[in-house]
Structure 1
């Protein structure tokens, strides 16, 4: 099969690329900057320089593709995240239609089923709809809360505080991006079936931020306390970082829309549960 992948240097995409190479597939990798690809992948992938918001460029880059692993990349700083998602959705949908691509595995998110009211996740919901409208086989991977979201707060966590806009007692499915990559490759190499389907990727268990703080404290050998940041204060903090209004709405809207009362549409079961625990992830990535 000719498989096209996106975001090959991202947390999930990098795992997808390596697993495909190990499976004997020479994936086509779409990237803004091929020079950023790891040197050891030279000869094992076919890099194509393209911006995923460039409709004509994406169509050209996916000619002959049997399957596509699609991730909407982050919008450039200072842009409009939802506009970026819309441009990506239009590009991939056009590619599927014009090139007759036989299947897409799309990295979506829990909450995309809401379609509206979940900040940046609304852009993933719109992309799901654009792919569904093509009529091609598509699997939407509705992923949980990424463990890697803790990395920007590593210094604060090391000092004993985990700040979050989420209610401290609200459970979320926490997942390691590595596991998402493995699920994506299993779907890319296996049968997709007709039409659309949705598969959740929930990690091993649902965790509240209070529980996350306790796990991190046990891993780091020091007390870590979860601290709730109310919505207005969180939005002010994002603005102080230089985010524009659209960016603040996109980020703050996720915790507001997926807060109290929200439960993922897909239940936890043997298919949606993946193995990497927060404890093992934190030992690898946060313990110094």
Structure 2
């Protein structure tokens, strides 16, 4: 079985690649920068220089591929939705041209809304497009990544986190490694077929208040959280250099899911994974502080 992995150096991909290797698979890594793959890893994979937003490149790279782990790469242009549409064109073209039989797509909680969730709308468009393909497709509806806290490292140092979400509203938080584990098992498992949605909710739902308390407990100093206005957050994004459309898309991921949103799949033994936030903080965030 020939398995292709996109964004193999990303938060999920770097774990997934190693899991597949340990399972005895020699995965094909599609990456714009194969030179950045460590030599020790490169010896166990097939590297193909590929831009996931270039359909022709993706089609050429995936000839003979049986299964693919697809990630829409983060938006880079002033028009984020156009970036997502280009990535969608790429995966659909590859699946159809090369008759790829199985796709595991890294989507997000909120994609089930289909519209009104900011940048997540781009993932929803990919889901809809893949629904029209003849391949067996699994949509991993992932919760809020622990790794998003890495972008908040300076805020954690100052002891003040800011969010536009209600600070006591619970939501799913998940470690990227747990997503990789679900992805690896799904790629290697031949017992499922058709269209399947698989939520990856992490070990427990957490509020921002609880996250701040866990951070304070692990770091041994005060960390608190405050809710700020949408416009204030948008202005912070703009000051950080985001184009206006990107700022709106990123903000929309929070505002679009805060009013009465309930994930399509509830928390259960099927959607719950193991890694606790405080363990991730010790291993990944504290060394940076």
Q: Tell me the TM-score normalized by structure 1.
A: 0.97
Partner of 1:110: 109
Partner of 2:173: 174
Whole-Å Cα distance in 2 between the matches of residues 6 and 179 of structure 1?
17
Is there any run of 5+ residues in structure 2 with no aligned partner, and where?
A: none
| 1:87 has 2:86 as partner | yes
Shift of 1:285: 1.7
Partner of 1:183: 182
Q: Assess, with a 3 A threshold, how the Cα gap between structure 1 residues 84 and 264 changes in structure 2: closer, same or farther.
A: same
- Where in structure 2 are the equivalents of 1:117-266 lying within 5 Å? 117-191=116-190, 193-266=192-265
Whole-Å Cα distance in 1 between the matches of residues 264 and 160 of structure 2?
31
Q: What RMSD, in angstroms, separates the aligned Cα atoms of the two structures?
A: 1.0
Partner of 2:30: 30
Cα-to-partner distance string for 1:235-263 (whole Å, 9 max, x where unaligned): 11111112112101110110010113111
Q: Tell me the TM-score normalized by structure 2.
A: 0.97
Residue 3 of structure 1 contacts residue 67 of structure 1 at CA under 8 Å; is this kept in 2? yes
Whole-Å Cα distance in 2 between the matches of residues 146 and 222 of structure 1?
23
Deviation larger for 39-48 or 8-17: 39-48
Whole-Å Cα distance in 2 between the matches of residues 192 and 127 of structure 1?
24
Shift of 1:192: 5.5
Shift of 1:135: 2.4
Q: Assess, with a 3 A threshold, how the Cα gap between structure 1 residues 192 and 63 changes in structure 2: closer, same or farther.
A: farther
Partner of 1:272: 271
Whole-Å Cα distance in 1 between the matches of residues 42 and 110 of structure 2?
37
Q: Assess, with a 3 A threshold, how the Cα gap between structure 1 residues 63 and 272 changes in structure 2: closer, same or farther.
A: same
Figure out how many residues of one structure are paired with residues of the other and give that number.
287
Partner of 1:46: 46
Is there any run of 5+ residues in structure 1 with no aligned partner, and where?
A: none
Whole-Å Cα distance in 1 between the matches of residues 118 and 42 of structure 2?
38
Partner of 2:21: 21
Whole-Å Cα distance in 1 between the matches of residues 82 and 275 of structure 2?
33
